[in-house]
Structure formats: structure tokens, C-alpha cells
Amino acid sequence: MLASFANCFKIPELKKKILFTLGIIAVYRVGCYIPTPGVNGAMLAEFFERINSTSDGSIFGIMNMFSGGALEKLTVFSLGIMPYISSSIIMQLLTAVIPALEKLAKEGQTGYQKINQYTRYGTLALGLVQSFFIALWLESPAAFQGLQIVNSPGWMFRIVTVVTLSCGTMLLMWLGEQIQEHGIGNGISLIITAGIISAAPTAIRTLALLLSPQSGGTSQLQPLTLLIMIAFLIGVIIAITLITQAQRKIPVQYARRIVGRKVYGGQSSYIPLKVDTSGVIAIIFAQSIILFPATLASFIPNQAFQNMAGFMSRGGWLYYTIYAFLIVFFCYFYTAIVFNPVDVADNMKKHGGFIPGVRPGTQTADYLDFVMTRITLAGALFICIIAIMPDAIMASFKVPYLVASFFGGTGVLIIVGVMLDTMKQIESHLVMRHYDGFMKSGQLKGRR
């Protein structure tokens, strides 16, 4: 595998793409240290230090992890790329339910460009709304345990914050599109992954502090426990890789047709049905809903909202029950959006294809739906385990959420999936230039 990485820089085109991608990621990381005007950085750092010292995995710690530490410093990239992700998911859902957008999606490259433009408009709208509420949140000392975060609150600060954070999100979207066009890998996913990985040094430093002897001569985290956690992490990475690449191959046989003097069809193929079709999207949806009461309570100092947030807080059986139910629901919901068995069956019938033992048409659609429903359940249950894993690690090993999130959870799922996609694209360039890929037998399969 090391030889394959070395071969990447022997291909001029691939070398240029890799260096361009690394350069864009470096620009992104520099932007994560440019502060937003009017914010007291020392007070904000003190607030997040209090949060990181606890092990409750609060909403602010989660948001800070996904923004690559930009929220902790309130930089121009504090919103991260999540408004674009939310806008893309909303457009994908609307495309499935609005006939005009569905027709537009079937027009090829022209329709894709129009839908992508609508996604950009949605990103800007979501960025403006979210940045405005962040500005209100920053002006409230009650939300920061009595700390004065904003030096001069008022409409001028709100306008500057909205413009700064919204422009930061739009710049991130543009950087991701540049990677997609001139670099290697999925630009948006790589930016998210770079933000998550950037928190690794802080997590390692926290682990070192937990391993160091305290005043009583004993450390909070024993070396044997750390070894168990590392072995557990390796098992999680292997499991995520297997589930991410797992497919149920449905055999398809094409009838032989004679057109003039030429013979068409007669070959065998298969339909690859993904076990984990939704991936991290189901977790994003579920987290957005399950954390909504806590978010609302942090913005609105109302006793009713505070009680609701406490009732739905982490650690309770109701929280994990609803969280798991939402993940399973959105796994099935997203799978139903992106995979239509009726359309697949109709396309197979038009081209003379059929599944052996299943009649074409309605029975083929029912069979595909039957298989997809059952393999999606396995993928949904696995996603539930991955999503709840950081909470189990926090409770078992008494470590902060920042550390626990690197031994399981959404962050590991995103990192493994994005790395597989990127390595698949690199491997395709290597094989095309007659170099060996990353695997001795077979080829890597990405998430799609």
C-alpha cells in the first residue's frame, strides 16, 4: 500500500490533483483561525473549556467538533459546511416529491446545474438564518453561564456577524466545489473530514492528561483501559468498512434479441443494493431533531423549554429510544427517496432484463422492495450502534465527549467513508496508468 501511495506522485495529473486538494484544505484550516469581529475570544474560550471538561457531550461540543474547532473560536467558518449539507438534503427530498424538480433532475447535466444553483440559494438562506440566531445567542450572557461574550451588543454586531458567517459558509461551499472540479475526492466531504480530524491533537492531549498521575498518585485512565479502547477503535473501523462496502447483488439476466444481423443481450449482470444506503445522513437528521429542544432552550430562557430539554437530555432511556427510532426511520426514509424499485423494474423490462425466477414488472418491483427493506434494517441497526457508541464509551471509561467521539460515532463513520471514496478515486487513476492499486486482489468500493 505504501508503494501505491508513492506511485500517486509519479503520475503528473494525479499529483497535481492531490496537491491542489491539500492546498484548498490548508486554506480552509487558515480560515478556521480568523475571528469574527466584536467577540471576546478569551471569554468564549473559557466557556468551551468548561464544556470540554465535562463528559456530557453537550450540543456545543458536538457543533464545535463538526466545525473543526471554528465555533470554539467563533471564526469566519463557524457555521461550517452544514448549511450546504442541509440544503442539499432538502433539495434531494423535494426532488422526489415535486414533479417539476423530478422532471428537471431527469434532464441530465442541464437539470443538475439548475438544481445545484437552487441548492446554493438554499445554502445562503440557511446561512443567514442560522448566523442571525448565533448572533442572538452570543449576546445572551445567560446562555454562557453569565459570561459576557460580546463587547458591544446590538444591531451592528448582529449585521456584522450575519454577513461574516454567511460569507464564510459560501466560501467553504466554493472551496468544496473547486476540489470537486480540479482536485481529488468529494470536496464537501473532505472539508468536513478535515474539520473532524483537526480535533485529534486536542483529543490526544486530553488522553495524555487523563493518563498522567493525579494528586493521589493514580491516573484517571489506566493504560490497560487505553489499550482496550484502541482495540475497540480498530474493530469499529473494520466494521464500518465492511458495512459501508457491503452489497446484496441481485442477479439480472438479459434476453437475447436479434435486430437485423446483429444479436443483442444474452449476458448476465447484477443490481448492487447497498446495505447502508443512507450513511451518515440518517444520523444528521436524527441529531437535528433530538437536539432541537436543547437548542431552543439555549436561545429562549423559558421554563417550559428548559423542562423539555431536561426531559430529553443525554443519559436517559427516553433520549436513546427516540434517537434510535429516528435513525431507523430516516434510514428507511432516505432509502425510499434514492431507490425506487418501480423505476428499476421498468428500466429492466424496457431493456429485456429480468431476475431469474421473478416475473418482470410488478413482481420484480415487489421483490426488490422486499430485499431492500430487509437489508436496510441491518444497516439501520448498525448505524444506531455507531451513533450511540460515544455515549457508551463516556459512561464506561469516564472520558470527555471529545475523546469518546474518536473511538466511535458519527465522526469515525464520516472519516472512514470519505477515505474509502478518496482512495477509490486515486486507485482508479493508478489502475488506468497501469499501476497497482491499494489492494492485491479486487478493488476498493466507495459509498456509492
Chain segment 164-217, per-residue pLDDT in tens: 999 999 999 999 889 888 888 888 888 888 888 888 888 888 888 888 876 666
Q: Where are the beta strands (DSSP E) in 365-445?
A: none
pLDDT above 80: residue 52:
no
Considering all CA atoms of the chain, what is the largest pairwise distance in Å, rounded to the nearest integer?
90
pLDDT above 80: residue 130:
yes
**For position 85, what pLDDT does the model report?**
82
**For position 285, what pLDDT does the model report?**
77
121 pLDDT tier (thresholds 50, 70, 90): very high
**For position 57, what pLDDT does the model report?**
46
**Cell representation of residue 272:** 448492487
**For position 311, what pLDDT does the model report?**
63
Provide mean pLDDT across the span 365-392: 88
Domain ranges of the chain: 1-198
Give the whole-angstrom CA distance, residue 372 versus residue 193. Answer: 29
The amino acid occupying position 272 is P
1-198: what fold?
Answer: Preprotein translocase SecY subunit (1.10.3370)
Instruction: Of 55-64, 117-126, 257-266, 321-330, give the range with the top mean pLDDT.
Output: 117-126
How does pLDDT run across 85-98, given as a tens digit for each residue? 888 888 888 887 88
Stated pTM of the model: 0.79
| Torsion angles phi and psi, residue 447, rounded to 5 | -75, -20
pLDDT above 60: residue 250:
yes
Give the whole-angstrom CA distance, residue 81 versus residue 180. Answer: 15
Cβ 320 vs Cβ 391: under 8 Å: yes
pLDDT above 80: residue 414:
yes
Place of cell 466560501: 171
**Which residues neighbour 82 within 8 Å (Cβ) at sequence distance 6 or greater?**
66, 67
**For position 293, what pLDDT does the model report?**
66
Cα 337 to its chain centre, rounded Å, is 18
pLDDT above 70: residue 294:
no
Provide mean pLDDT across the span 287-296: 68
The percent of residues in the chain predicted with pLDDT above 70, rounded, is: 79
**For position 56, what pLDDT does the model report?**
47
Cβ 43 vs Cβ 148: under 8 Å: yes
The percent of residues in the chain predicted with pLDDT above 90, rounded, is: 6
Provide mean pLDDT across the span 344-350: 84
Q: Tell me the chain's radius of gyration from C-alpha atoms.
A: 24
